[in-house]
Structure 1
Amino acid sequence: MSAALVTAEAAKDRLHAGEEIAFLDIREAAAFGEGHPLFAIPCPFSRLELSAVALVPRADCPLLLIGGGDGIALKAARRLGACGYTDVSVIEGGLPAWEAAGHGVFAGVNVPSKTLGELLEHEHHPTMIDAATLESWRREGRAHAFFDARPPAEYGKMRISGARCVPNGELAHRLDAAVPDEATPIVITCAGRTRGIVGALTLRAIGTRNPVYALENGTQGWALAGMPLDRGATAEPMPALDPAQAQVSRARAASLIATSKLSSISPPEAEEMLADAGRTTFLFDLRSDSERAARPVPGAVPALAGQLIQATDQYVGVRHARLILMDDTGLRAALAGLFLRALGFEVHVLALDDAPETDGPLVPASPLRPPVLPRAITPGAGWSLAQKGVPVLDLRPSTEWETGRLDGARWALRGDLPGILPPATRRAILLGDATAVAAACCELHAAGIAADWLPADLDACAQAGWPVDRVKRRMSREDARDRVWFVHDRHDGNAEASRQYLAWEMNLINQLDQAERASFGQVPIGAAP
């Protein structure tokens, strides 16, 4: 399949036409983080096919690719055509042409979601509390409930001591169990701004009577105020609901759906939508791990409601796609739907408690054909081949390579292949996850090079006799193209990076052009009580 070339001007028009389109930026993460179009979805060439299938599950959805103007986007288009995509276009000249046409470029990641957060702050003015005031509350022993809106993995990296990990959506759903006294002030923090703002507004949206505050600038604001962060904490289990509290969640969901005019559907209606070949439809399961295990819905994509709002471009690659948001009582789904609708998606709420005797909707199999993974080999077999001179390519994230690596292995990205291999190479061993390995195999097979997949970790390789270098090594920005370097050390004590990041976040709405601003809808949330 040959891709159509389109100008930056034509591409910009297509993005704002209101139709489904997947705008994929195939550059690596470092380049994406330094600057990309507002609605571009990160889908790096090094992880292209399996990432695209997850982000764009419909074969005939229009795909629009942007690269660096170096020809990689055209190669990506051919690879996606081989997967079964039938409508692929490439912006001629890539990002340089986009900039030359006068179109905006945004640094950072998750930019649409963060921009929505800033718009909401300007529109709804959630009550903020600064670090100094919160610290004085703590010193004085003033009663308050303090929650961290991020997922457990982020919470474990750094937190403010005393904050309990209850991510956005979950706090609203579990509010009566988490904060039984309606007079207790609630403070919500995140790492920066967006999730604190969204968390405070979700509680306002359900009519919470407690005073609710977002910690101004989150953990970064706390650190900038000279207060310490706690690292390595383990999140406690989330508050469990008794039957009466679960019924309160259902009642709040029903009220929110009615007042916000959200669509509520049944499992059969959801299944009909999923079977509609003319629309791209995603089914997200917003329940906890234990809730999903108790009533599984195969094929649904698990996600925390707050993260789906915060990092939508990591889950959905299609503008104006249809999203079915599923949970038990409907509240987590309805709250996520409020914000995702404002991002331009068609949203529907599916509350499984409304159909207790019905199975969840059936998710049809994808017609797309991602690359087939090569055969997996054991660490012992890999070490034997390596001793015979078969080159080993390390496709793991560069952050993992820095902490340890197999003796003789060479770190690589797909775009480096096959050029970094000796000319006579006919076989290679690939260390990495399925997404990176499947992508790299396409380039090796095209060059007539067979590949073996080593899915084991370094410890297993060491047990098989493979020498492992555990000396920590730092990769340069030029080499570690797979990670976002944009103010990357803001959580590691770099105060200037934190200030730059927060200024960037607050300035996002000032970068919007008229069409971009019109792409964001309203979130109907009443005034604070």
Structure 2
Amino acid sequence: MTRLASRTFAEIRQALLNREEVALVDVREEAPFAESHPLFAANIPLSKLELEVYARIPRRDTQVTVYDNGEGLAELAAQRLQALGYVNVSLLDGGLDGWRRAGGELFIDVNVPSKAFGELVESQRHTPSLAAEDVQALLDSQADVVVLDARRFDEYQTMSIPTGISVPGAELVLRARELAPDPATHIIVNCAGRTRSIIGTQSLINAGIANRVSALRNGTIGWTLAGQRLQHGQSRRFAPTSEKHRQIAALEARRVADKALVGRAGLADLQRWQQDATRSTYLFDVRTPAEFVLGHLPGSRSTPGGQLVQETDHFASVRGARLVLVDDDGVRANMSASWLSQLGWDVHVIDDLQPEHFSETGAWQAPLPAVPQVETINAETLARWLAEGDSVLLDFNSSANYVRGHIPGAWWLLRSQLRQALSQVPTAQRYVLTCGNGELAHLAVAEVEALTGTAVFVLGGGTAQWIAEQRPLEEGETRLASPRIDRYRRPYEGTDNPREAMQAYLDWEFGLVEQLGRDGTHGFFVI
């Protein structure tokens, strides 16, 4: 391994100000990351680094700086990155505490750049909004209103405003005229908190829709705090858009994108950029996942536009990289790009695509390193070994999926805390590893062998194969060998959050504009 260099807060701050490519990677799990991190840090946990990093940091000679908060994870992550072919890997000088001591601003929560930007947009554009009580009164009086939910469909299904229709963010400008053809109809845009309703409302206003548009102030959180009832399990979705409405939306979206200084590009430009070894280029298809599966541009990644704007740090973890967006309607890419440009990204839309260019089918497949060759067993063998009582099953799935349903007897643990976790697990003659599809389990075999000195096997096909064979499952937190810190529980998701947590989250969002000012590196602008 190459000796590890270090990079200071001042060096990274200057690189951000210079708009150089910066990959500042927090390798802790998501929950501790959400407690404190720099504005443009990308969270790629050590536990699944190999499965995510090639897609999120595509160029191997990117300047990558990793850090933790003294847990000893950063050095190991840097070594793994070097083994994966990354040649410019550094440690953040002093880690997270070094950033703080050097005067760096620290932020809480996840997807903070987009959330802070949403607050900046509202403060500068005075995006109209209505309180939950006012929207409830409109619904009770059967006023001419339509409620459009800008979140992902699965979030909408968990909880939604009565009468709400699922129209994920990038779809709003394309679909709204179809859903509210009468200009007298009042459009209400909601999300769970604030950001996506602000951006969605302002998208419709920017795109010149004739209707009155208002954000539901504070989203489903505000609705809940007002003591009003949400619906659950709804399935109202947008319908196809007429060609007339698509053409209007395309003209308006192009105008908005031009105003936001979005770059225009052709396929020849894309090919040239993809061959440029000095710059990172991401190619994102911002249509729905279902459309992507039916046909997409080779090499593109499915990133529905609303989520791309909301979670840019997750998809494009190199700040300062080039983003290239595609669609087949002239609306969704331009509208998504208009926001990404205002978020300080160098973003381009490809204009010369024809139907035949969408030649690749199927779901997006993450680029992965070669999987280690290990000994696998089938579900029948695992069931027999577990019944005999001389084997222990270790599950590296996400904790949420483990709780939802796991193989009976399985112990859940985090790969990044393997040594501590194994001390909580009974010793055995052999260990079998599983996860959702087996990929993470393959990566953990050598580590478990080294720590236990015992034979280690992988369940072929992972827990998904066990489920496919309709074998029994167990639910709940039955055997946790690690703390459930792999995912931060957002105060705006689910239906059982304490009122105090929801109110504290709103109060935090209100303070983000001031925090952006103190940080000084964001480069945002608002059209």
Q: Hey, what's the Cα distance between the residues in 2 that align with 1:253 and 1:121?
A: 20
- Following TM superposition, by how much is the alpha carbon of 1:185 offset from its aligned partner in structure 2, in angstroms? 1.2
Counterpart Cα distance in 1 of 2:470 and 2:511: 53
Mapped contact 2:322–2:347 kept (Cα < 8 A): yes
- 1:165, distance to aligned residue in structure 2 (A): 0.4
Q: Distance in 2 between matches of 1:501 and 1:195?
A: 15
Say if 1:114 and 1:194, in contact at 8 Å, map to a contact too: yes
Q: Secondary structure at the match of 1:349?
A: strand
For 1:20-99, list aligned pairs within 5 A. 20-99=21-100
Secondary structure in 2 aligned to 1:406? Answer: coil
Aligned equivalent of 1:527: none
Contact residue 338 and residue 523 of structure 1 kept, 8 A? no
Go from structure 1 to structure 2 and tell me whether the alpha carbon gap of 1:216 and 1:442 turns closer, same or farther (over 3 Å shift): farther
5 Å-filtered alignment, 1:135-284, equals: 135-236=136-237, 238-284=238-284
CA-atom RMSD in angstroms:
3.0
**Which of 371-380 and 171-180 deviates more?**
371-380
Q: Provide Cα deviations, 1:465-490, integer angstroms capped at 9, x if missing partner.
A: 6x6434565979x8112121464777
Moved more, 54-63 or 396-405: 396-405
Q: Any idea what the Cα deviations from partners look like across 1:476-526, whole Å, max 9, x if unmatched?
A: 9x8112121464777425211110111111111222354x334232132xx
Matching residue's letter, 2:56: L
Aligned equivalent of 2:466: 460
Preserved CA contact (<8 Å) 1:66 1:95: yes
Contact 1:220 1:490 in 2 (8 A): no
TM-score (norm 1): 0.89
CA contact (8 A) 1:491 1:498 kept: no
Which digits, 9 at most, give the CA deviation of each residue in 1:182-202, with x for residues without a partner? Answer: 221111000000000000111
CA distance in 1, matches of 2:289, 2:58: 24
TM-score by length of 2: 0.89
Change in 2 beyond 3 A, CA 1:376/1:307: farther
Q: Structure 1 vs Structure 2: percent identity of aligned residues?
A: 33
The Cα shift of 1:427 comes to: 5.1
1:519 is aligned to 522
Q: What SS does the corresponding residue of 1:344 show, helix, strand or coil? A: coil
Cα distance in structure 1, aligned partners of 2:32 and 2:86? 25
1:431-446, aligned counterparts within 5 Å?
Answer: 431-434=435-438, 436-441=440-445, 443-444=447-448
**Hey, what's the Cα distance between the residues in 2 that align with 1:160 and 1:358?**
39
Which deviates the most, 329-338 or 417-426?
417-426
Alpha-carbon distance in structure 1 between the residues aligned to 2:164 and 2:94: 48
SS at match of 1:102: coil
Q: Is there any run of 5+ residues in structure 2 with no aligned partner, and where?
A: none
Counterparts of 1:120-139 in structure 2, within 5 Å, are: 120-139=121-140
C-alpha contact 1:432 1:454 (8 A) present in aligned 2 = no
The offset of 1:67, in angstroms, is 0.8
**Range 490-499 or range 209-218, more displaced:** 490-499
Deviations 1:337-393 (A, max 9, x none): 1111122211001246x534556799xx99983554746542112223444633311
**Structure 2 CA distance for aligned equivalents of residues 44 and 458 of structure 1:** 23
Q: Which residue of 2 aligns with 1:482?
A: 486
Structure 1, unaligned stretches of length 5 or more? 525-529
Query: For the residues of structure 1 that align with 2:466 and 2:368, how far apart are their CA atoms?
Result: 34
- Distance in structure 1 (CA, Å) of the matches to 2:239 and 2:512: 35
User: How far apart are residue 6 of structure 1 and its match?
Assistant: 2.9
Residue 85 of structure 1: CA displacement?
0.7
* Alignment of structure 1 residues 231-380 onto 2, 5 Å: 231-236=232-237, 238-351=238-351, 354-356=353-355, 358=357, 369=369, 371-372=371-372, 374=374, 377-380=377-380
Give the 3 Å change call, closer, same or farther, for CA 497–390 of structure 1 in structure 2: same
Equivalent pair of 1:330/1:349 in contact (CA under 8 Å): no
Question: Are 2:509 and 1:495 equivalent residues in the alignment?
Answer: no
Counterpart Cα distance in 1 of 2:375 and 2:299: 25
Aligned to 2:19: 18
Change (3 A) 1:488 1:126: closer
Q: CA deviation at 1:106?
A: 1.1
Structure 2 counterpart of 1:278, one-letter code: T
Alignment length, in residue pairs? 517
- For 1:216 and 1:254, how far apart are their aligned partners in 2? 28
The equivalent residue for 2:474 is 469
For 1:488 and 1:286, locate their aligned partners in 2 and report how far apart those are by CA, in whole Å: 24
In structure 1, what is the equivalent of residue 514 of structure 2?
510
Measured after TM superposition, the shift of residue 176 of structure 1 is: 2.4
Q: Distance in 1 between matches of 2:11 and 2:40?
A: 15
Aligned equivalents of 1:230 and 1:377: distance in 2?
Answer: 44
Cα distance in structure 2, aligned partners of 1:100 and 1:373: 44
* 1-structure distance, mates of 2:168, 2:245: 18
Q: CA deviation at 1:30?
A: 1.5
More deviation, 65-74/376-385: 376-385
- Match 1:429 to one of 433, 441, 445: 433
Cα distance, 1:50–1:491 mapped onto 2, change above 3 Å: same
Partner SS, residue 57 of structure 1: coil
Distance in 2 of aligned mates of 1:216 and 1:408: 46
Bigger shift: 288-297 or 173-182?
288-297
Matched residue type, 2:302: P
Given the superposition, is the C-alpha separation of residues 367 and 59 from structure 1 closer, same or farther in structure 2, using an over 3 Å criterion? Answer: farther
- Given that 2:28 and 2:46 are in contact with CA atoms closer than 8 Å, whether structure 1 keeps it comes out as yes
Shift of 1:463: 5.8
Shift of 1:276: 1.6
**Separation in 2 of the partners of 1:86 and 1:507?**
39
Distance 1:357 1:384, change over 3 A: closer
**Shift in CA distance, 312/235, structure 1 to aligned 2, threshold 3 Å:** farther
Q: Distance in 1 between matches of 2:185 and 2:470?
A: 57
Cα shift at 1:146:
0.9
Q: In the aligned structure 1, how far is the partner of 2:111 from the partner of 2:281?
A: 21
